[in-house]
Amino acid sequence: MEPDWDDLKVFLAVARGESLSAAAKVLRRDPATVGRRVTRLEEALGAALFVRTPAGYGLTEAGGRLLDHAEAAEQALAQGAEALRGSPGQLTGQVRIGAPDGAAVFLLPRVCAAIRAEHPGLELQIVALPGQVNLSRREADFAIAVTPPTAGRLTVQKITDYHLHLAAHADYLDRAEPIRALGDLARHPLVGYIPDMVFDKALEYMSELPVDGVGLASNAVSVQLSFLREAAGVGIAHDFALPFVPELRKVLPEAFGLTRSYHLVRHAGDRRIERLARVGDLLLAGLRAEVARLESLS
Q: What CATH number is given to the structural domain containing 272?
A: 3.40.190.10
Residues 170, 254 within the same domain: yes
Residues 64, 179 within the same domain: no
Burial 268-285 (b: 16+ CB within 10 A, else e): ebbeebebbeebbebbbe
Residues 178, 230 within the same domain: yes
Residues 141, 282 within the same domain: yes
Q: What pLDDT is stored for residue 5 in this prediction?
A: 80
Query: How many residues does the structure list for the chain?
Result: 298
Residues 276, 254 within the same domain: no
Task: Compute the distance between CA of residue 33 and CA of residue 16 in angstroms, rounded to an integer.
Answer: 17
DSSP notation for 242-275: GGG-TTEEEESTTT--EEEEEEEEEEGGGGGSHH
- Give every CB contact of residue 292 below 8 A, 6+ residues apart in sequence: 160
Residues 150, 228 within the same domain: no
Residues 147, 67 within the same domain: no
Residues 282, 213 within the same domain: no
Question: Helices (H) and strands (E) in the chain — how many of each?
Answer: 9, 11
Q: What is the pLDDT along the chain (298 residues), one digit of tens a residue?
A: 566 788 888 888 888 888 898 889 888 999 899 989 998 888 888 889 999 888 888 889 888 888 878 877 776 676 566 556 555 577 888 899 999 999 999 999 999 999 999 999 999 999 987 666 666 666 788 999 999 888 777 889 999 999 999 999 999 999 999 999 999 999 999 999 998 888 888 888 888 898 888 999 999 999 999 999 999 999 999 999 999 999 999 999 999 999 999 999 988 767 667 788 899 999 999 999 999 999 999 8
**CATH number for position 67:** 1.10.10.10
Residues 154, 173 within the same domain: no
Q: What pLDDT is stored for residue 263 in this prediction?
A: 96
Domain count of the fold of the chain: 3
CA quadruple 59, 62, 68, 69: dihedral positive or negative?
Answer: negative
Q: What pLDDT is stored for residue 91 in this prediction?
A: 85
Q: What pLDDT is stored for residue 186 in this prediction?
A: 92
Residues 179, 38 within the same domain: no
Q: What pLDDT is stored for residue 176 in this prediction?
A: 95
At which of 47, 62, 84 does a domain end?
84
Q: Which long-range contacts (CB under 8 A, 24 or more apart) does 26-30 make?
A: 26/138
Q: What pLDDT is stored for residue 292 in this prediction?
A: 97
Residues 140, 12 within the same domain: no
Q: What pLDDT is stored for residue 133 in this prediction?
A: 63
Across the strands, what pairs with 126? 97
Residues 36, 80 within the same domain: yes
Range of the domain at 210: 161-259
Q: What pLDDT is stored for residue 3 in this prediction?
A: 67
